[in-house]
Amino acid sequence: MTLKTKLFTALAFFAIAITSCKKNNPLIPINVDTEEIVPEKIDSFSEIAMIDLGGATASEISAYDPSTKKLFVVSNDGGTKVEVVDLSAYPTVTKSRTLTYASNAGINSVAVSNGLLAIALNGVTPQSNGDIVVLKTSDLSEVKKISVGAMPDMVTFSPDGSYIISANEGEPNTDYTIDPEGTISIIDVKNNYTVKTFGFADFVVDKAKLVVAGLRIYGPNASFVQDIEPEYVAVSADSKKAFVTLQENNAVAEVDIVAGKVTKITPLGTRDISLADNAWDVSDKDAKVGQLGTWPIKAFYLPDAISYFSVNDNQYLALANEGDTRAWAGFNEEVRVKDLTLDPVKFPTAATLKLDANLGRLTVTRAYGDIDGDGDFDELYATGGRSVSIINAVTGILVANIGKDLEQRVINAGKYDDDRSDNKGVEVEGVTVAKVNGKTLAFIGMERSYMVAIYDISIPSKPTFVQLFQTGEEPEGIMFVKPKDSPNGRSLLIVSSEKDGTVRFYQPNKL
């Protein structure tokens, strides 16, 4: 055997040993993304097809089944429904069927895996226990109906299809007299759909520490477990962990899927709008569209959607910091700055700040900011980060924030809705991360500008702008279909828009 042959053989055995070690050692990450790269131009996404499903709320969240080429779309337009859209003749798309659930008080989410469709339904009232209904995608026959916690707001499958995870928000009623516990349900698909629903009682002892770190617990007469409101779920590539946004609480929870319990709560802190990198437009009455500037305020991130991704075996989360408030008849935290009494020492120019052209009309929370309890506000906290944050999934440390650049590009495109400057800006609602032509891309949906932005986050700490394009009105659901699963073998972005009831399909050009 020659030296060259010996060296080749040794390297081959070494590679096999490393692969075997990775398979058997959970501490060594495995790169699960080994799919063939389809050569596509990442900055060339354009609309290929569209379907109009009705009026407002007719198109909210979508899920696609590659085996049947069916798209399932949440609709609350005139009832509790799932619209079934046929993509088998894509780019011709047609509605083929409507599934109705008249006895449930609303539908929130859908998800697909391995020929199964999971549908998240409210109970007979939003505050009663909800249901996850599982159907076969082939013939839409019901497989199982599982009771979960109150208001299952988002449902998803683990990547391996073994589990269904539901974030049960548990919102209060409008009078704030009924406030269910926020919970998470884990459904074991392979064990006859057995379910475990659990909450956050184990963290009551850590409440003070978590609040100092930025967790918001503030609902009137609400216990810790009632105040927690799970919103959206992302699952790790190995199907062992789920990450759940607690939107109103300004945090992310980590869940051990196999054990069926919450293992960590990571408060997100605040975004400092006095820093140049975080500049905002805070007024719709400043006689200028999109006037980004620095102000003596902070902003709770309050993320809605969440997406898990990995780069070089490091794990990350992308958070869509939409912002959401508790604005109920029984409790409303929203207030304009001009209606608050500001501490004269902390805000010596209060009269000027409270002008409509400055901070006067900005919506902030009255639940935070009176640090010393004397009735005036020592700090101002806005509701929503107006950004996408990238955080380390293991440590929770902020890696990057896509905010100022995002809004500036919308302004430059002439698509900025200045009327929303005093509220949530472009209102970043959705985010999904996927690979296109080997690049890791974040697709960001902005509810108030009717646009999607694409950023290259292949280096998570240095996001770079790729593209900005128009969508339907108020994009609510953003999902990516890999080339191997799409109807024509190319990357496919599906955007469902809540206000105009349309679903639009975007694809990049081939290289």
Residue with tokens 């659930």: 101
Backbone angles phi, psi at 204, to 5 degrees: -60, -40
Structure tokens that stand for 52 in this block: 């109009």
- pLDDT number for residue 256: 98
- CA geometry: angle 66, 432, 154, nearest 5 deg: 80
CA–CA gap between residue 299 and residue 271 (Å, rounded): 5
CA–CA gap between residue 491 and residue 482 (Å, rounded): 5
- pLDDT number for residue 34: 60
CA–CA gap between residue 396 and residue 317 (Å, rounded): 9
Closest among 275, 333, 276 to 302, alpha carbons compared: 333
Structure tokens that stand for 345 in this block: 């020492």
CA–CA gap between residue 153 and residue 109 (Å, rounded): 6
pTM score: 0.93
Q: Domain spans of the chain?
A: 101-267, 269-426
Closest among 453, 456, 460 to 435, alpha carbons compared: 456
Instruction: Report the 10 Å Cβ neighbour count for 364.
Output: 27
Q: What is the C-alpha R_g of the chain?
A: 23
CA–CA gap between residue 233 and residue 210 (Å, rounded): 21
CATH number of 101-267: 2.130.10.10
| DSSP string over 356-403 | TTTTTT-EEETTS--TTSSSSBSS-EEE--SEEEEEETTT--EEEEE-
Closest among 102, 106, 69 to 84, alpha carbons compared: 69
| DSSP string over 321-332 | E-----B-SS-B
Residue with tokens 């949440």: 74
Residue type, 173: N
Structure tokens that stand for 376 in this block: 């005036």
- pLDDT number for residue 28: 38
Residue stretches of the chain with pLDDT short of 70: 1-34
| DSSP string over 410-476 | HHHTT---GGGTTTTTT-EEEEEEEEETTEEEEEEEETTTTEEEEEE-SSTTS-EEEEEEE-SSSEE
| Strands 492-497, 439-446: pairing kind | unpaired
Backbone angles phi, psi at 273, to 5 degrees: -85, 0
- CA geometry: angle 371, 320, 237, nearest 5 deg: 120
Residue type, 288: K
- pLDDT number for residue 35: 72
Provide the b/e sequence for 32-45 (b: ≥16 CB within 10 Å). Answer: eeeeeebebebeeb
Please give the span between the terminal C-alpha atoms of the chain, in angstroms, as a whole number: 45
Residue with tokens 């057995």: 194
* Cα dihedral 475, 112, 194, 129 sign: positive
Provide the b/e sequence for 252-270 (b: ≥16 CB within 10 Å). Answer: bbbbebeebebeebbbbbb
Instruction: Give the start-end residues of each E strand in 101-139.
Output: 107-113, 116-121, 129-136
- pLDDT number for residue 36: 81
Structure tokens that stand for 57 in this block: 């709320």
**In this structure, what DSSP letter does residue 483 have?**
T
Identify whether the C-beta of residue 441 lies closer than 8 Å to the C-beta of residue 434: yes
Identify whether the C-beta of residue 448 lies closer than 8 Å to the C-beta of residue 427: yes
